[in-house]
């Protein structure tokens, strides 16, 4: 199955990566049912298909800003080397 995800409204300018914290790489996706964070592949190309990692955990988070729900493995997935060697989307509901 190929899943085509919408582009995020957050900045993905590769030249500004040094100034962003790793959590800022996960942009908020608006949803009426479930807030989510999505990190695009490094050097994103809209004409290419990418695999998707769904990052699930059971931390009992509440509220609409789930940025604080990002866990240690989300930080590891955001590392430049990992994103370069294994380009993919990471979705964190």
Q: Where are the domains of the chain?
A: 16-92
Say which range, 20-34, 41-55, 58-72, has the weakest mean pLDDT.
58-72
**pTM for this entry:** 0.69
Number of neighbouring beta carbons within 10 Å of residue 37 = 23
Strands (E), the chain: 27-29, 36-39, 52-54, 89-92
- Mean pLDDT of all residues in 2-26: 55
Cα-atom radius of gyration of the chain, to the nearest Å? 13
Closest CA to 91 of 46, 45, 55: 55
């Amino acid at each position: 199955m190929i899943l085509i995800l919408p582009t995020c409204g957050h900045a993905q300018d590769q030249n500004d990566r040094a100034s962003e914290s790793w959590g800022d790489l996960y942009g908020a996706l608006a949803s009426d049912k479930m807030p989510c964070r999505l990190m695009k592949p490094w050097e994103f190309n809209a004409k290419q298909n990418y695999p998707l990692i769904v990052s699930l955990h059971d931390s009992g988070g509440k509220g609409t800003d789930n940025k604080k729900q990002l866990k240690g493995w989300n930080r590891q997935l955001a590392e430049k080397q990992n994103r370069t060697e294994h380009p993919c989307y990471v979705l964190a509901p």
